[in-house]
Structure 1
Amino acid sequence: MDSTQLELLALVVGLLVGAGAVGLVVYAVQARERTRLVTSTDLPEGTASVLQGMDDAAVVVDPSMLVLAASATAEVFSLTVNDSLDSDRLRHLVRNARQTGVPATESMTLKRGVEPRVVAARASVITPRLTLIVIRDITERERVEQMRRDFVSNTSHELKTPVGAVMLLAEAIESAADDPDQVRHFVRRLSAEATRLGQLTSRIMNLSRLQSADEIAEMRDVSVDEVVRSAIESQAIAAESAEIQVARGGERGLFVRGDPQILTEAVSNLLANAIAYSPAGAQVGVGVREADGAVEIAVADHGIGIPETDQQRVFERFYRADQARSRRTGGTGLGLAIVKHAVQRHGGSVELWSRPGRGSTFTIRLPLVASSELPVSRKPKKPKKTGAKAPSRRNAP
Structure 2
Amino acid sequence: MTTPQLALFALLIGVVLGGSVALVVVASYRARDRAVGQASTGLPDGVRDVLAGMDDPAVVVDASGTVVAASMPAAAYHFVERAVLPTEELALLARAARAGTASAPVTMRLDRGAEQRAVSARARAITSRLVLIVLRDITEQERVEQMRRDFVANTSHELKTPVGAVGLLAEAVDSAADDPGQVREFARRLEREADRLASLTSRIMSLSRLQTEEPTTLRDVAVDDLIAAQIDAHAAQADSAGVRVMRGGDRGAFVHGDLPVLGEALGNLLANAIAYSPSGSHVGVGVKIEGRVVEIAVADQGIGIDESDQERVFERFYRADQARSRRTGGTGLGLAIVKHAVQRHGGEVRLWSQPGRGSTFTVRLPLAPPPTHRAGRAARRSRRRTRRSPHGRNPPHDPSADRRG
Shorter chain as normaliser: what TM range? Answer: 0.7 to 0.9
1:216 alignment partner in structure 2:
216
1:242 to partner: Cα distance: 2.1
User: If the length of structure 2 is used for normalisation, what is the TM-score?
Assistant: 0.86
Distance 1:264 1:46 in 2: 57
1:103 Cα deviation (Å)?
A: 4.6
Per-residue deviation at 1:201? Answer: 1.3
Mapping of residues 226-241 of structure 1, within 5 Å: 226-241=225-240
Indicate the residue corresponding to 2:362 in structure 1. 363
- Give per-residue Cα distances to partners, 1:68-95, cap 9 Å, x unaligned: 1111111111110111122222122222
In structure 2, the partner of 1:352 is: 351
Task: Indicate the residue corresponding to 2:67 in structure 1.
Answer: 67
Give matches, 1:115-194, under 5 Å.
Answer: 115-194=115-194
Q: Do 1:253 and 1:374's aligned partners in 2 also have CA atoms closer than 8 Å? A: no
Letter in 1 for 2:349: V
Other-structure match for 2:306: 307
Aligned-pair distance for 1:135? 1.3
Greater shift, 101-110 or 185-194, is seen at 101-110
Q: Which whole-Å deviations, capped at 9, do the CAs of 1:269-288 have from their partners, x for residues lacking one?
A: 00111122222322211112
Using the TM superposition, give the Cα deviation of residue 48 of structure 1 relative to its aligned residue in structure 2, in angstroms.
Answer: 1.3
1:245-285: per-residue Cα shift (whole Å, max 9, x none)? 21222223322222222211111100111122222322211
1:269 maps to 268
Which one-letter code corresponds to 1:309 in the other structure?
A: S
Q: Any conservation in 2 of the 1:105–1:121 contact (CA below 8 Å)?
A: yes
CA distance in 2, matches of 1:277, 1:18: 103
Q: Residue type of the partner of 2:268?
A: N
The alpha carbon displacement at 1:241 in A equals: 2.4
CA distance in 2, matches of 1:70, 1:253: 55
Aligned residue number for residue 92 of structure 1? 92
The residue identity in structure 2 corresponding to 1:325 is R
Q: Deviations over 1:199-235 (max 9, x none)?
A: 1111111112222212212x22222122112211222
Tell me the distance in 2 between the aligned counterparts of 1:100 and 1:260: 60
Cα shift at 1:22? 3.0
Decide whether the 8 Å contact of 1:302 with 1:360 is kept in 2: yes
Instruction: Please name the residue that 1:390 is paired with.
Output: none
CA contact (8 A) 2:98 2:130 kept: no
Deviation at 1:115, TM superposition (A): 1.0
SS in structure 2 at match of 1:84: coil
Within-5 A mapping of 1:232-251 = 232-251=231-250
Q: Give the conservation status (yes or no) of the 8 Å contact 2:100–2:125.
A: no
1:25 aligned counterpart, secondary structure: helix
What's the CA shift for 1:10? 4.8
**Matched residues, percent identical?**
61
Q: Which one is further off, 118-127 or 12-21?
A: 12-21
Residue deviations 1:156-195 (CA, integer Å, cap 9, x gap)? 2212221121122112211221121111111111111111
In structure 2, what is the equivalent of residue 33 of structure 1? 33
1:268-347 alignment, distance < 5 Å: 268-347=267-346
Q: Tell me: CA distance 1:339–1:122, structure 2 relative to 1, closer, same or farther (3 Å).
A: same
- Aligned-residue offset at 1:332: 1.1
Please state how far the C-alpha of 1:109 moved relative to its aligned partner.
Answer: 0.8
One-letter amino acid matched to 1:277: Y
For 1:124 and 1:244, how far apart are their aligned partners in 2? 68
Structure 1, residues 132-156: CA drift from partner, whole Å, max 9, x if none? 1111111112111211121122112
Counterparts of 1:101 and 1:107, CA distance in 2: 17
1:285 counterpart letter in structure 2 = G
Shift of 1:374: 8.1
Amino acid at match of 2:138: I
**Letter in structure 2 aligned against 1:134:** V
Q: Tell me the residue number matched to 1:49.
A: 49
Task: State the Cα distance separating 1:3 from its structure 2 match.
Answer: 6.6
Query: Could you say which residue in structure 2 is the equivalent of 1:196?
Result: 196
User: Cα–Cα, structure 1 residues 168 and 19, in superposed 2: closer, same or farther, change >3 Å?
Assistant: farther
Opposite residue 263 of structure 1, the aligned amino acid is: L
Alpha-carbon distance in structure 2 between the residues aligned to 1:213 and 1:265: 19
CA distance in 2, matches of 1:12, 1:237: 118
Instruction: Establish whether residue 260 from structure 1 lines up as the match of residue 264 from structure 2.
Output: no
Which has more radius of gyration? 2
Secondary structure in 1 matching 2:124: strand
TM-score, with normalisation over the residues of structure 1? 0.88
**Secondary structure of residue in 1 paired with 2:351:** strand
In the comparison of the two structures, how many residue pairs are matched?
376
Q: How many angstroms apart in 2 are the aligned matches of 1:329 and 1:92?
A: 56
How far apart are the structure 2 equivalents of 1:146 and 1:245?
41
1:117–1:139 contact (8 Å) kept in structure 2: yes
Per-residue deviation, 1:309: 2.4
Once the two structures are superposed, residues 269-316 of structure 1 have per-residue CA deviations (whole angstroms, 9 ceiling, x without a partner) of: 001111222223222111122221222111001212122222222222
Residue 59 of structure 1: CA displacement? 1.0
Asked if 2 retains the 8 angstrom alpha-carbon contact of 1:102 and 1:125, the reply is no
Distance in 1 between the 2:11 and 2:178 partners? 123
Partner of 1:388: none
Q: Distance in 1 between matches of 2:252 and 2:291?
A: 16
Q: SS of the counterpart of 2:342? A: helix
Where in structure 1 are there 5+ consecutive unaligned residues?
376-397
How has the CA–CA distance of structure 1 residues 105 and 9 changed in structure 2, closer, same or farther, with 3 Å as cutoff?
A: farther
Counterpart residue type for residue 266 of structure 1: A
Q: CA deviation at 1:63?
A: 1.3
SS at match of 1:127: coil
| Structure 2 Cα separation of the partners of residues 329 and 4 of structure 1 | 122
Distance 1:2 1:170 in 2: 127
